[in-house]
Structure 1
Amino acid sequence: MNKIKVLLAEDEESLGMIVKESLESRNFMVLHAKNGEEAFTIFDNEKPDILVLDVMMPIKDGFTLAKEIRIKNKDIPIIFLTAKSQTSDVLEGFNNGGNDYLKKPFSMEELIVRIKSLLNRIEIKPNLEKIQIGNYFFDYTKQTLTFLEYTQQLTHRESQLLYHLFEKKNSILDRSFILNKLWGNDDFFNARSMDVFISKLRKKLKKDTNIKIINSRGFGYKLIC
């Protein structure tokens, strides 16, 4: 069986070595970069299965690195390691293409659970490049939403969430299901994050008054179109 290839970008040398050795002892292959620029080069050359990125790094920070990686690969799972705990900081991570975050200090067991959880998820592979939602055209591959001549760019997370809402259009998309699938767990903090993303999608879909995203409190959301 091939080992899972993890790209770890962590500039704190002692922590980086601890994480690297701990993962390798559990049969992972670890590629360790000490700054964002080095990490991008390794990503480009080695094609890892998952990225574990420290947010605060020299030369290129984790958020900038994730944005650049998302241009080349929209689907590779990204976990951010961060000492920051403010809602705005974590939301910035999700906006830049992150799939999960882990606050420092963390246990190796928790990191491994997050890695396996992300890799075990079934990736969205829509058959249609363009999907009609009311009078909008949604291109999941390009992450765009077009109304007449007006095109908006979506983030990776917005695209994933909109696709799942469309799959269940006119029915309730279960809140716990989508939180576990896209955010990794359904805790209160992630639920707050999802509410913010729902609000963003509502604004981006407001040009068609027949489209609504309804909150079914305690159950989930429904895309009506």
Structure 2
Amino acid sequence: MPTILLIEDEAALGMIVKDSLEMRGFTVQYAEDGEEGLRLFRAALPDIVVADVMMPRLDGFSLAERIRAENQTVPIIFLTARSQTADVVRGFELGGNDYLKKPFSMDELIVRIKALLGRQPAAPEAPAGPLPIGRYRFDYPKQRLHLDSHAADLSNREAELLKRLYDQRNQVLERTVVLRELWGDDSFFNGRSLDVFITRLRRHVKDDPQVQIINIRGIGYKLVV
């Protein structure tokens, strides 16, 4: 079963979440602060990280920065009571994959964990070889984007989003459809998360001017090659 690194400084909440996840078959490594969480991350190499934002010694955002400096692909879910748009956007810009506001239900957390681990039944099948996107070659199964001798590692959600854009290339990928498939719903905060990931994908393909990700206002996005 997948290994989850759970980092939560509220010990009572942390143990409830840990026990609930283990009852559902997950292996859980638990830490009560960011520094211990970083140590466990390096030791356990978890499949996914679930981290509180407001923590002693090393907060969740700083922890995400440290993790992303070492690993670009492991999914990160933030848990927080803070819901300001600026905090949400900052979390995604620092490499987070999802954002769950406290209080939350365990069923919602598990759905989001499974989605990030690639278990959603609607996920597209892996192609046989690298996909051509202008001068780029997109290795979807390995979540890597190649340009000449350079390769960039994509996060799970970046790869899933780019695959959907590729499948709909030169056509409009509807915003509501991709939000429901990858985020679970088309809420405001998830919409802001999608905007951040589109910005990150544009940075990944900026070295080929023939490749563009265009915003179709009020509808969605189009990958133009």
Query: Which TM-score tier does this pair reach, normalised by the shorter chain?
Result: 0.7 to 0.9
Task: Find the partner of 1:19 among 17, 22, 27.
Answer: 17
The 1:126/1:89 distance shift into structure 2, 3 A limit, reads: farther
Counterparts of 1:203 and 1:22 in 2: how far apart (Å)? Answer: 39
1:170 aligns with 2:170: yes
SS at match of 2:191: helix
Structure 2: gaps spanning 5 or more residues: none
Q: Percent identity?
A: 53
Question: Does the CA contact (< 8 Å) of 2:73 and 2:153 recur in 1?
Answer: no
Counterpart residue number, 2:103: 105
1:66–1:207 distance in 2 versus 1, CA, 3 Å: closer
Q: Which residue number in structure 1 is paired with residue 84 of structure 2? A: 86
RMSD: 3.6
How far apart, CA to CA, are the structure 2 residues paired with 1:76 and 1:127? 23
Q: Deviations over 1:91-141 (max 9, x none)?
A: 111112211111111122221222222221559988888x87557898998
Give the Cα–Cα distance (whole angstroms) in 2 for the partners of residues 40 and 166 of structure 1: 35
**TM, length-normalised to structure 2:** 0.74
Secondary structure, counterpart of 2:96 in structure 1: coil
Which consecutive unaligned segments of at least 5 residues does structure 1 have?
A: none
Distance 1:187 1:159 in 2: 21
CA offset at residue 43 of structure 1?
1.5
Matched residue type, 2:42 = D
Q: State the partner residue of 1:118.
A: 116
**Aligned residue-pair number:** 220
Q: Please state how far the C-alpha of 1:90 moved relative to its aligned partner.
A: 0.9
Label 1:22 to 1:205 Cα distance change in 2 as closer, same or farther (>3 A): closer
Distance change in 2, residues 1:111/1:83 (3 Å): same
Q: Deviations over 1:50-74 (max 9, x none)?
A: 2110111112111121222223332
**In 2: Cα distance, 1:53 partner to 1:124 partner:** 30
Q: Secondary structure at the match of 2:178?
A: helix
Q: How far apart, CA to CA, are the structure 1 residues paired with 2:169 and 2:76?
A: 28
Identify the range of structure 1 (6-15 vs 182-191) with the bigger mean alpha-carbon deviation. 182-191
The TM-score, its normalising length taken from structure 1, stands at: 0.74
Q: How does 1:175-214 map onto structure 2 within 5 Å? A: 175-198=175-198, 211-214=211-214
Q: How far has the Cα of 1:201 moved from its partner? A: 5.7
The 3-state SS of whatever aligns with 1:69 is helix
